Amino acid sequence: MKHFTKYLFLLLALVVVLAACQNKPENNDNSHDKSKASSKGKDKLVLYAAGPDNLVKDMVKEFEKESGKKVEVFQGTTGEVLGRLEAEKDNPKADVVQLASLPAALDYKKKGLIEPYKVKNHNKLYKDWIDKDGYYYGFSGSALGMSYNTKNVKNPPKDDNDLTKSQFKDKIAIPDPSESGTALDLLSIKVNNEGNKAWDEYKALKNNGMKLAGANKPALESVIKGENDVVYGGVDYMVYAAKAKGEPVDIAYPKSGTAISPRPAFILKSSSHKELAKQYMDYVTGSKGQKQVDDHYLIPADKSAEKKKGKAKRADIKEFKYDWNNLSDKSEKVLKQFTELMR
């Protein structure tokens, strides 16, 4: 997939710059970045993860307690994780990788970089989120919707074309799909389903003042601060977490359909601790790990774990139909056309 190859080279340059700075996790709460993953110590798992920070922290804590083993963690955005993996390809350090978007896992499988393993809970997980042969597991998912400021928006949008109305003129933002894998997922899926109709809608949104707002976290912050009234294509778990803290935000899912991005975990073929890595994969896809996923406002891959109140279940959200392999191959062309549109 050409898009990911180019993406990795661009990100490699970014990682070099970031090396002198603090690497921030996907949800940027500045609380957890064990960027020590430099050793291959005996019985020590090395995990590269794209957040959410608190979920990774809680999972690692419980896994260490349950297994009696230590875990070294590097946290960053999906782009930063992929950039670091690329930088270390001649001297790999990571054992397990967790990302915020599925296409990169498909790319790694095609390149022969993943060690397949069928987890114990394999048959209880959403089949469209996992690889049937165990190459990757979408152990959690985030739905994409219209995040809005509840103080400024008294009549929430019901569908994405509502955002083309004068009510939202110059008060709309979208996560940049060149920085956010989930935003690119939605863009590719919407175009795949609606074709020219989708492009006409994106043009209308741009004409109504839609602007790029960086990755998911800064996009949501722009709504919380009132700089924008709505972000189209934001991840729902961040909204639910902010709402629970008392922030003036909520989310609506487009009635015409949206995307849910599985967040994959997989074992690298270069791992020096494969048996421990398998234990970790069993943990994140098992009952305890899935409960933690649900507790942190994400959609668990095991439907039976969906119990937390105050958030939508997968069955409540209308999803577009899509084939991840087909979408991944087309994403570069879609991104290029969107970038030209937003100029």
232 has which bridge partners?
146
CB atoms within 10 A of CB 60: 21
Structure tokens at 300: 């668990």
Length of the chain, please?
343
* Whole-angstrom distance, CA of residue 188 vs CA of residue 195: 10
CA 272/CA 210 separation, integer angstroms? 47
Reported as type and span, the H/E element at residue 146 is strand 137-149
- Helices 324-341, 103-110: axis angle to 10 degrees equals 120
- Integer Rg of the chain from CA: 19
Kindly tell me the burial class for residue 34, based on how many C-beta atoms sit within 10 Å of its own C-beta (0-12, 13-18, 19 or more): middle
What are the φ and ψ backbone dihedral angles of 300, each rounded to 5 degrees? -75, 150
137 known member of a binding site: no
Encoded tokens for 41? 């110590």
Annotated binding site for Fe cation: 237
Q: Which residue ranges make up the annotated binding site?
A: 237
